[in-house]
Each structure stands twice: as structure tokens, then as C-alpha cells.
Amino acid sequence: MSASRPYVTLISEMTVDGKLTLKRGLSSKIIMGLMDMESQRFLHKKRTEFDAIMVGSNTIKIDNSILTNRLVEGRSPVRVIPCSDASIPPESNVLNHDAPTIVVVSSKADVNKVQAIREKGADVMVCGDSHVDLDLMMEGLVKKGIKRLMVEGGPTLIWLLIKKQMIDHIILIQIPYIIGGDSTPSLVGGPGVDSIDQVVGTELTGFYKVGNHLITEYDVIYSPNGK
Ligand SMILES: NC(=O)c1ccc[n+]([C@@H]2O[C@H](COP(=O)([O-])OP(=O)(O)OC[C@H]3O[C@@H](n4cnc5c(N)ncnc54)[C@H](OP(=O)(O)O)[C@@H]3O)[C@@H](O)[C@H]2O)c1
């Protein structure tokens, strides 16, 4: 872990075959409906253990995520949304007042859209010129006191974070169903690695059952050949 970024844990609900949604472009809430109550409570309990929770802007547009803890005792984390052009709709659930929200934009973002987000009460952080600069974003989050950051997706943001060696720990909630589909999003998106020496290693640090779901935990190892 670096002092210039929070400790980052990826927590994701995925099917036995590694899928995050029923089809590309559909909300993950559909498959989350397959989760039993124990595993939903587990996810919400995890949210209470972090200073902040982050998802990509496309997840906000497709899922209209709320990202709060609503099922167990405990506070909700600060919500962080990287969105270079400030294009998340002002009526998005994530801009409600149930928890603080930070929207991270680039300097190219339309001032009126930024203003509309600020008027909803969110904090807007400007990091980078064309796209959100993830290094600057992480430094900014540390300055705001965020030491432990949970990432819930989607696959594009996860790929970008993995590529920048910014994910330290992974907790997977395995939904006991199979979906299939060549183009159905799986845990990590993006172009993927080009050769075997670029694979990212993991070390299994725990496995247990919650309800009828298998939970696996991994530390991520960034070294040549993932070893
Ligand atoms: N099952 C689950 O646990 C789960 C969880 C979350 C999401 N999902 C599913 O995942 C899907 C959405 O995932 P997605 O992969 O399409 O989108 P996403 O990861 O939610 O959003 C893409 C993110 O990548 C950022 N980005 C793209 N290029 C970038 C760059 N060069 N530099 C910095 N940031 C960059 C985007 O920011 P800009 O706006 O700045 O481009 C955006 O924040 C939905 O179907 C959702 O249901 C499933």
C-alpha cells in the first residue's frame, strides 16, 4: 500500500461463471435479486467497514446505484464516482442525501453539469485534463481522510485500477447460478493482458460460506508473471 492512495478492496457479486450482469447493458440489480438475505447483509456490513465506496460512472447510469448500507447497523461510507465529463444525471440516487458523495471529474467537464451536481450537495473534485487521473484522484481521497476504499465495479473501472496496481485485496461473493454469454460482462473488463508475463497474481487468503454463497478473499500480487 502506498501513502498516496487508500488501501483498496474490490468487493464484487458474481455468478459461478464470473458474470456481473445478465447481459451487457443490464443492471446488476437483476442478478443481485438471486442473492439470499445473509449474503446481502454481508455486502452491506462490508460497506460499513470502509471510509468510502466507489463505482464507475457507467454503473451509476445503468444501475442507478444507491451504495448505502440499508440492511445492518452502522453508517454508510462516502460514495465516490469518477465521471470525467460530469455526465451522471443530477437525479441519480447516488446524489441523494443518504450519505456524502464525491464526484470526480476532469477539467473538460461542462461547468453547468458540474454546477448541477454541486447543487445536489455533492463534493466535486477535479483531477486530470481529459479523463479522470486516477493517481490524482487517489491522492485527493487520502487528503479527504479516506484510508480504506471499497470498489464495487464495474468491469471497466476494475480493469483500469488493476492496470495501475491499485487494488490490494479482493472479496468475491459467488452467486450460485450460471449465466453464460460471450459478451456478458465478467469481473474484469478492458482489453485484458497481452501475454503471460502480464498476468496479475493473487494469493487466496480466505474462503467461507455466507448463506448459500461462497466467499473467497485474495491479496493481489503485482510482480512479473504474477508470482
Ligand atoms: N455485479 C456487480 O458486483 C457489479 C458491480 C458494479 C457494476 N456492475 C455492472 O457493470 C456494468 C457497468 O460497467 P462498465 O464496465 O460498463 O462501466 P464502469 O466500470 O461502471 O464505468 C467505467 C468507468 O471507467 C472510467 N474510465 C474509462 N476510461 C477511463 C480512463 N482512460 N481513465 C480514467 N477513467 C476511465 C469511466 O470514467 P469516465 O466517466 O470518466 O469515462 C467510468 O468511471 C453495469 O452493467 C453494472 O450493472 C456489476
Query: Model confidence over 1-52: pLDDT tens digits?
Result: 567 999 999 999 999 999 999 999 999 999 999 999 999 999 999 999 999 9
In 3D, which of 202, 180, 153, 175 has the Cα closest to residue 12? 153
Handedness of CA 123, 127, 132, 134 (dihedral sign): negative
Residues whose CB is less than 8 angstroms from the CB of residue 2 and which lie 6 or more positions away in sequence, other chains included:
none
| Contact 62 CB / ligand 1 (< 6 Å) | yes
**Counting atoms of ligand 1 from 1, which one is nearest the CA of 28?**
47
The pLDDT of residue 3: 79
91 is written with which cell numbers? Answer: 437525479
Distance between CA atoms of residues 123 and 127, nearest Å: 13
pTM, entire model:
0.96
pLDDT digits (tens, 9 = 90+) for 90-100: 999 999 999 99
pLDDT digits (tens, 9 = 90+) for 147-206: 999 999 999 999 999 999 999 999 999 999 999 999 999 999 999 999 999 999 999 999
SS3 158: helix
Q: Which whole number is the average pLDDT over 109-121?
A: 97
The pLDDT of residue 224: 73
Pocket test residue of 24, 113, 131, 150 for ligand 1, highest count of atoms within 8 A of CB: 131
Pocket test residue of 132, 135, 138, 166 for ligand 1, highest count of atoms within 8 A of CB: 132
Distance between CA atoms of residues 172 and 174, nearest Å: 6
Q: How many A from CA of 150 to the centre of ligand 1?
A: 14
- Label the pairing between strands 78-82 and 52-55: parallel
| Contact 131 CB / ligand 1 (< 6 Å) | yes
The pLDDT of residue 58: 98
Place of cell 450460485: 176
Distance between CA atoms of residues 186 and 182, nearest Å: 10
| Contact 57 CB / ligand 1 (< 6 Å) | yes
Residue extents of the structural domains in the chain: 7-226
| Contact 28 CB / ligand 1 (< 6 Å) | yes
Rg (CA), the chain: 17
- Label the pairing between strands 148-153 and 7-15: parallel
Name the DSSP letter for residue 94. Answer: G
Fold of 7-226: Dihydrofolate Reductase, subunit A (3.40.430)
Identity (one letter) of the amino acid at 164?
Answer: K
In 3D, which of 114, 113, 139 has the Cα closest to residue 127? 139
Q: How many A from CA of 163 to the centre of ligand 1?
A: 14
Q: How many A from CA of 91 to the centre of ligand 1?
A: 19
| Contact 170 CB / ligand 1 (< 6 Å) | no
